Structure 1
């Protein structure tokens, strides 16, 4: 078995030389090393013994003719790469250390481990000495850029790799790019790597990249949105904060949150069908021009107006004994519908679409008022002010509208009319709300 054979060679053949090199450098074997062999007692072999050496060069010169010298210095390079000792790495490279040497346990090479240990100076040194910047390991199929994208702490290495010319859109055999790695590794709570995502997008990462399994950048956020439903309020708030930040970045670079995939509904659909729980994200999507229906299929496989009224009516039934919560739900529904009208005032209701207010109690008439307002928008000419608002907001996309609207030479009253969001509580700090119990779900 190649794995066991390689492991034995570390222990019985070139590990003693590695131990001696690390001893000269003052590195403790096994200290924080990922995927490395455990420290073993060095059996006497060749000329290596426990005698102190004056320098690394002196030791390497003495042992340069030994049988396992190249393996020893190459594995030592791997160990040195994770410590950030650039001068020691350059010395080992002068003595023919192999940049492509694979750790027999993890199968990472020196560049991989330098990234994992967040050693940007080492990353730059290895690449400038000829390390393959896009090389993937044999086990995980990860490139250095993939590894750098996964953790916020590795941002310096990510920046270094991009500056050195790493292919930002290189994909593994399953079609997974560094951007998809970054989003797939994010849980919004322990891993909050929005800065990595932003850097990848600035470097030209493709927001429409799709894996063979249909995974996209936005589908990772759909997963998190659903995960938030089962979290504590604190964790849901953190997940919401991450999803808002990541979504804002993806939308600014052209992602379509209303486009269906083969596996699951799009982000807009997932947010609208539970708009009260994901209200800040639903508002962000609509204020950024997200479609209120599927942008891929005709006739659409989902439709925003239907989702809103389904959730509104079911939510009012669940809140019939809580007047405050019911009023908040109605206000949120009104906000979503107004944002949809501001994005595209030409309302088109599905043929035969009706709203059942059974169980809505005292709020039934308010629900019908919202429905009748949509019917009026569909049947009558759209007021000029609404047409102008929709046109101006559309021309200011993509990106957050507040700064762009405030820069317009308009009276404050008109700016307020354009910025619908200010009237509906999408303030900084708004967060996701996990359901109180399973009965709140559709």
Structure 2
């Protein structure tokens, strides 16, 4: 056909930008063109710091100020020096007009994709390929490469600290919260005034990013979560899909049940530490609906999550749905359901003894957390589902039902009052420190299997 036609692009075939020669010259003067290859031999801090190099860059920028693609060239060069954290070089490029909102190439703004046709340049008839970083600004790049000093430089020169990229809608703070290696950038962004509760169109905040990016085994964003909470992150943040600060923990704990013992131990430890942080900043683990309640999950499988559940209860978490009460879900009912379920699997003495001891401890913890026992109406336990030790479960249930309809003894009310005053967790440690006779301490304590008189 007559006239020029757009060439067929094979995948990611490299095509030269019009402004690439200027970029190459700048990077060459800073000895950055082969920096990736020399990274094992040279520290990035040594690159682009020589005074003669910087003077040469200034001369090139002054010479090329009026060239056709100067703005794009100097802005793209800023992206490259930002990656390596070259503060002085970045400062010079900003001085000479580098665009803080530059995203790599017009390809990112005018259509064309990585595997599709690239935009056409009317000036030279050259086809511009999409750049690998089309939707990230220099500030995003600085965060991704964990360059806190460059982050501060860019923000101080007017970069929008809360700007979101066009593809994933990630803010610099979101990106900083997703990897433990970016902790210094996260800290710097908070110090510079980043909006800690800014959310994307789905309602996802930096805190929810930090939680969702933690896998519990290799990626632990515990410190990032702590910094965000101390910076005022809202623990009530909820996405349009209903995800809360506990959603990721619930998922990880559920996955951990099927993991190896070591992975489960690491995951449980991570979830415990994060739960401590969240509750210390006012998060409610007993909210509705049940699938979003950390307390509900732990009660439903207390055999695996006993330590975390004990922490939640001793920290003041409700053992019933805090919105609708026991009619929605009840801790007492969940404990008995869990007992019957597990006692249908094994009759081994060690298994039974451990499970029943934990169940009794949890029932006592719940009874000792309120003056009146609140059970679901018409609450009954069908012990026929227990293949083993159903009589012992029935005995526990009958004693609980009897307490529900009996006026509480003064000693029970005193126990509730004292334990409430000693919250949050760990209550038992505080009880041992009280100037009381051992007999009274023994009554105030819950888990007698975990403590002997010599520990009082």
TM-score category by the smaller chain? 0.7 to 0.9
2:283 to 255, 277, 287: 255
**CA distance in 1 between partners of 2:36 and 2:323 (Å):** 53
> How far is the alpha carbon of 1:290 from its aligned partner?
1.2
For 2:31, the equivalent position in structure 1 comes to: 26
* 1:235 is the counterpart of 2:263: yes
| Structure 1, 181-190 or 290-299: larger mean CA deviation | 290-299
Q: Which runs of 5+ in 1 are unaligned?
A: 33-51, 426-442
For 1:14, the equivalent position in structure 2 comes to: 19
Call closer, same or farther: CA 1:12–1:344 in 2, change over 3 Å. Answer: same
* 1:293 is the counterpart of 2:320: yes
**Residues 279-333 of structure 1, C-alpha deviation per residue, up to 9 Å, x if partnerless?**
221111111111111112256321111111111012112012x221111111111
User: SS at the partner of 1:302?
Assistant: strand
User: SS at the partner of 2:228?
Assistant: helix
Aligned CA RMSD, in angstroms, stands at 2.7
Call closer, same or farther: CA 1:265–1:86 in 2, change over 3 Å. Answer: closer
For 2:237, the equivalent position in structure 1 comes to: 209
* 1:348 is the counterpart of 2:374: yes
CA contact (8 A) 1:332 1:424 kept: no
**CA distance in 2 between partners of 1:293 and 1:226 (Å):** 21
| Structure 1, 200-209 or 270-279: larger mean CA deviation | 270-279
Rg comparison, structure with higher value: 2
Call closer, same or farther: CA 1:424–1:157 in 2, change over 3 Å. Answer: same
For 2:392, the equivalent position in structure 1 comes to: 366
* 1:280 is the counterpart of 2:307: yes
Call closer, same or farther: CA 1:76–1:344 in 2, change over 3 Å. Answer: same
**Residues 236-294 of structure 1, C-alpha deviation per residue, up to 9 Å, x if partnerless?**
11111111011111111111111014x83411111111110222211111111111111
Equivalent residues, number: 400
**CA distance in 2 between partners of 1:223 and 1:14 (Å):** 48
**CA distance in 1 between partners of 2:15 and 2:437 (Å):** 75
For 1:437, the equivalent position in structure 2 comes to: none
* 1:337 is the counterpart of 2:348: no
Structure of greater relative contact order (alpha carbons < 8 Å, 6+ residues apart): 1
TM-score with structure 1 setting the length: 0.83
> How far is the alpha carbon of 1:174 from its aligned partner?
0.9
For 2:181, the equivalent position in structure 1 comes to: 153
**CA distance in 1 between partners of 2:378 and 2:227 (Å):** 47
Q: Which runs of 5+ in 2 are unaligned?
A: 1-5, 38-52, 105-130, 452-456
**CA distance in 2 between partners of 1:415 and 1:209 (Å):** 40
CA contact (8 A) 1:14 1:71 kept: yes
> How far is the alpha carbon of 1:390 from its aligned partner?
2.3
For 1:391, the equivalent position in structure 2 comes to: 417
For 1:163, the equivalent position in structure 2 comes to: 191
TM-score with structure 2 setting the length: 0.81
